[in-house]
Amino acid sequence: MTFKKQCLAGLAGLMLSLGALAAPVEVSGIKLDDPVDLRGTKLQLNGAGIRYKAVFKVYVAALYLGKKVATPEEVYSAPGPRRMSITLVREIDSNELGKAFTKGFEENTPKGEMSKLIPGLIRMGQIFADQKKLLPGENFTIDWIPGTGTIITVKGKPQGEPFKEPEFYNALMRIWFGPNPADWKLKDQLLGKPA
């Protein structure tokens, strides 16, 4: 191989690797970081998609994990930190969003677990009620941090003390991955399946 061809091949490889590092993922006009850093752990984007209600786009959801998974069971059992990121694409009353999450929580949580999780569910509902409304482009995250618990961050501010029970995070994840998910198409997108 000539020197010129070697240089061109090297340059092409460099451009491909830089492109892979710098290429932002975009869903419905919302730019998603990939990877994200959660308390010193790099998490990769497992999948992302849009939550529709009737024909209206409500939010973009993005799931971040330590490694790619393809099933709800793998989401629930993934080791290390995990993140669900929600970015609004339309204005929504936070109380309405809290009620929708509560309904999704109840529809997907086994009855035997529900009584233990009710205090956390009430507290989560209050977190959203306190926000009044969320505007397009505003974001909240639901993070699981081993040894700390579930942290809900709204508009960049952590909301109160962590929820300590590991079951609480997975019960929240069932809103999107349970037997009655918020949106079947979104469930597949979050699990990395093609749209």
pLDDT in tens, 124-147: 888 888 888 899 999 999 999 999
pLDDT in tens, 32-51: 999 999 999 999 999 999 99
pTM: 0.85
pLDDT in tens, 150-190: 999 999 999 999 999 888 999 999 999 999 999 999 999 99
What is the full DSSP assignment across 126-152?
HHHHTT-EE-TT-EEEEEEETTTEEEE
Residue 16 has pLDDT above 50, yes or no: no
The pLDDT value recorded for residue 9 is 47
H or E, element range at 102: helix 94-108
The pLDDT value recorded for residue 18 is 41
Band (pLDDT 50/70/90 cuts) for residue 12 is: very low
The widest CA-to-CA distance across the chain, in whole angstroms, is 71
- In the chain, the DSSP E strands lie at 25-27, 30-32, 36-38, 41-53, 56-65, 82-88, 92-93, 133-134, 139-145, 149-154, 157-158
The pLDDT value recorded for residue 11 is 44
**In the chain, % of residues over pLDDT 70:** 88
Residue 4 has pLDDT above 70, yes or no: no
**Domains along the chain?**
22-190 (3.50.70.10)
